[in-house]
Amino acid sequence: MTQPRAHKSLIEKVVFSRQYPVILGDTVGVTSTYQRLHAHDALEINMIKSGTGYYMINGERYDFREGDILLINSNDLHCAYETENLIMLVVTFDASWFMGMVRCDPDVLSPFKEMGLYFSNLLDRDNEHMGMLRALLLQMQEEHEGGQRSYTSLVYAHLLQFFVYINRYFRMDSLQPSKSTVTATQLEKIWHVTRVMEEQPAYPWTLEELAALVYLSPSRFSDIFRRTAGMSPLLYLIQLRLENAYTLLQTTDRKILDIALECGFRTLSNFNRLFKRHIGTEPRNVRTQTALIDSKIVSVFERLGGVSEME
């Protein structure tokens, strides 16, 4: 049985360069975009370079750790959360880049087309061929960032090889049925609610009001939301508000009290308490800390298989 998919009308469109339809790079931690339930029309590959966390994909939880590789299909409703020191390589690309190859090898994109049937979003970390996949992704990133002559062709070649090895070595004839009981209709309802919350995060939403948006009882809505997003509706709302506050703290010189009230927090003390609990520091420290993102990028080329096992 195939996994439920998000409704096409809600799918986000990723804009690519026509000549080179791929976006590739490291992400430190989990940005607010990744923490929000979303789906897009592109295909995505994640390799965990360090740290731990988990993905919620179509209502199923996938815990990941260093060295893991995940595939995100187009239409997959998903969000990611960091638990500790997460750095991951994210490759997002347009499937149409490989349409010419599909005419020669119809199975080349099977890992995505047959997701939930013969392939899992989280690749088997114990598979003896994982080293080859990690090496290909790291070589792909090296070519992409090096920008030498004809680097786009090598990125294409590495990505194509990556698909071939997944199709050849990671296909499962008896994939266990998904434990998720979240249906496609339920996924669409939860996504609709999260969109409303994102558009009006400062509104004093109650659980009853959120449930009423999709004609569910509060208890039923809360249960489906938790299984889909990995947290309760009101906690999801708090995180949205904190993300907005964090952005305003970084980009404006407005008073902290004004930011707290605008983002939906009733008192400054409540805002400070929640901010420190979820962000890990006090709001006033955001403006005094220097972003040291580059220093957190670690060298993992050799540690995760930078030298291809095929050599």
Per-residue model confidence as pLDDT tens digits over 20-39: 999 999 988 876 666 788 88
Give the mean model confidence (pLDDT) for residues 141-152.
95
Inter-residue contact 43 to 224 (CB < 8 Å): no
d(C-alpha 294, C-alpha 305), whole Å? 22
Name the percent of the chain lying above pLDDT 90: 46
Summarised one tens digit per residue, pLDDT across range 195-212 is 899 889 899 999 999 999
Banded model confidence at residue 226, pLDDT cuts 50, 70, 90: confident
Residue with tokens 């062709």: 153
Inter-residue contact 194 to 236 (CB < 8 Å): yes
d(C-alpha 90, C-alpha 25), whole Å? 6
Summarised one tens digit per residue, pLDDT across range 246-302 is 889 888 989 999 999 999 999 999 998 988 888 778 888 887 764 433 333 334 444
113 φ, ψ to 5°? -65, -30
Label residues 268-304 b or e (16+ Cβ within 10 Å = b).
beebbebbeeebeeebeebeeeeeeeeeeeeebeeeb
Three-state DSSP at 72 gives: strand
* pLDDT at position 9 over 70: no
d(C-alpha 222, C-alpha 152), whole Å? 46
* pLDDT at position 194 over 80: yes
d(C-alpha 59, C-alpha 282), whole Å? 33
pLDDT, position 10: 59
- Mean pLDDT for all residues in the chain: 84
Banded model confidence at residue 84, pLDDT cuts 50, 70, 90: confident
